[in-house]
Chains A and B, each alone.
Chain A
């Protein structure tokens, strides 16, 4: 026999279902109890969390073609920031924010690269973290010591599709429009092999950003937002590691020129997560994990992002 339970009817709670929940990323109206946004696939937990703070979190767009190292870079960045005890640090907000870090580190520890990020937006990894800026940074910039930052590890395929036709990938469009800064990833191994695909992709992506209209009044135009061009997989190219700016001028002159002409805050960085080798079958295999230059681009971006 089912026991009778008396529950108070909190009718006022029904009111929140009547009001749609606007997605933090794409501003699409969802049901209150939706788990992911029906438009962009972002977890609605992100929106719930964002509503808890006086100032909305700032997004950083990570742009790059497929297999350029976006996931590995972001995963390692988060792990490095989480492990730090001094300087710039980050603490994840919400369980979904730890998944990317966990998957990346687990794979790398067993000498494997993580699997490619699926094209479908609902499978992307979203990260919301509280970033504690370094003391010197706070003093110099006269800013708050903490910031709320949101990353998204989107699929390179989706970004490629978006560049070909902006209508097909609303999640990418929303992410780019919403972002306060961009981190453009260029694969050094592709540049070194003489191919110019990586450079063209970066130019296309940046050109797309530069032409984005201001979605809201008061939002900074993309030309004034900081852009960090990050050369990934630089473990095999010491020249790039030593001086990424000169490397960009010499090997990706079109990209370097475009960046300087269109964006007021641009910097070039070189990073490498693993010393890897490529077999004759084209497989990239990490031989050992030696993070290098991972935090610097992020540190630079956060110091130049407007509140």
Chain B
């Protein structure tokens, strides 16, 4: 089936035109030699058609393989892409669009106040179930942000409003939905300053997508691994597409360290999501894992109090905050001023599979990465402000979880599908 976005991305790929130019040039020489126009035209067009056809076939094969790996029929994805584009054009009824959005994990767009009111009860129920199953709630409260730099620590107290945070990092499979839906071709999802740089966000074959993908698709065996090789802008664009945002530094730390106010007004915070002692069996760090990424649902014993997976280890996670956002006036002001001059660094948190020191995998440790950096060990998860969710605690009994603060391990996808059916 014809895919408009894929068609545009294919014809705007500079590599294709480089190849065509060489072929045309070669054929031009043949033309000059033969001086026969009909022969020249035939010779010029034939190789181009062959190259184009082969490229399309290869790309389609890889795409089908990736989608099949994701567990969904190809026809469904194609239909979704088309239906979305049709819906955008106002040519399709409203009934199918929410279904499409649910299948793309864009439930966050359906639980917003204005949208939720207009939806069918069944769809609203499914969106709410997905929301609670895929995201954990962080209650409002204070959190201590500690920055250790140049060997000195400085703490500052920050208020955090209630927020929902993804239980898992965004996986390759989830990010593929964004790529397949033409997310890289829609400027509305991207920060204004980076639109001109979108052509740089390509995979190993020059197609739009994360850096380590090939032909616009992820390696099939890494479907449930966190997506890596994405810049801060790509992470932010994906978050916008699914109706969420990147978490701030304070929100991320609150999710991991789960502060509890004590009697004297201070906060008791955890060093790691599971407690104050490093336990390498609960996380994927240097020396404790396979030295590469693992599926986003692994290491269940390292889950945080709020039911968030892999806050420590596996991949660093982009946040929306700049590097060294806090504290305001640390004692090592000289160093901080130097760092602050680097405005293009964004804060990343949590450590990765190749993080060497335990001290750099704590909830408090902050590192930085360039906004355009597409590193092999940096991924992300998304957040959603509780105030953006319609009727968060006033939902019908079937729509809310058993506990207001979910601490249990979320159910598996299979169970969810059964429940939805």
Pair B151/A110 contact, Cβ less than 8 Å: yes
Cβ proximity bits B365-392 to A, threshold 8 Å, 1 near / 0 not: 0011110000101000000000000000
B357 in contact (CB, < 8 A): yes
- With A110-B148, A288-B360 given, is the CB distance from A279 to B342 under 8 Å? yes
Pair A289/B357 contact, Cβ less than 8 Å: yes
Cβ proximity bits A90-131 to B, threshold 8 Å, 1 near / 0 not: 000000000000000000111110000000000000000000
Pair A279/B150 contact, Cβ less than 8 Å: no
A196 in contact (CB, < 8 A): no
Q: How far is the CB of A73 from chain B (nearest CB, A)?
A: 14
Q: How far is the CB of A34 from chain B (nearest CB, A)?
A: 36
A12 in contact (CB, < 8 A): no
Pair B356/A291 contact, Cβ less than 8 Å: yes
Pair A288/B355 contact, Cβ less than 8 Å: yes
B230 in contact (CB, < 8 A): no
A290 in contact (CB, < 8 A): yes
Q: How far is the CB of A284 from chain B (nearest CB, A)?
A: 11
Q: Which residues of the other chain, A, contact B150 by a CB distance below 8 angstroms?
A: 110-112
Q: Which residues of the other chain, A, contact B345 by a CB distance below 8 angstroms?
A: 277
Checking A112, A279, A281, A289 against B355 with a beta-carbon cut-off of 8 angstroms, the contacting residue is: A289
Cβ proximity bits B347-368 to A, threshold 8 Å, 1 near / 0 not: 0000110111101100000011
B22 in contact (CB, < 8 A): no
Cβ proximity bits B275-291 to A, threshold 8 Å, 1 near / 0 not: 00000000000110000
- Count class of interface residues, chain A: 10 to 19
Q: Which residues of the other chain, B, contact A291 by a CB distance below 8 angstroms?
A: 286, 354, 356
A133 to B367, alpha carbons, bound, how many Å? 35
A279 to B149, alpha carbons, bound, how many Å? 15
Q: Which residues of the other chain, B, contact A288 by a CB distance below 8 angstroms?
A: 316, 351, 355, 360, 367
- Count class of interface residues, chain B: 20 to 34
Pair B341/A279 contact, Cβ less than 8 Å: yes
A280 to B345, alpha carbons, bound, how many Å? 13
Q: How far is the CB of B8 from chain A (nearest CB, A)?
A: 28
B339 in contact (CB, < 8 A): yes
A41 to B339, alpha carbons, bound, how many Å? 39
A112 to B360, alpha carbons, bound, how many Å? 13
A212 in contact (CB, < 8 A): no
Cβ proximity bits A260-285 to B, threshold 8 Å, 1 near / 0 not: 00000000000000010101110101
Pair B338/A279 contact, Cβ less than 8 Å: yes
Residues of A in contact with B (beta carbons under 8 Å apart)? 83, 108-112, 275, 277, 279-281, 283, 285, 287-292
What would 16 A/B residue contacts be, using CB atoms closer than 8 Å? A108-B356, A109-B359, A109-B360, A111-B149, A112-B151, A275-B375, A277-B342, A277-B368, A279-B339, A279-B341, A280-B342, A281-B341, A285-B335, A285-B338, A288-B351, A289-B357
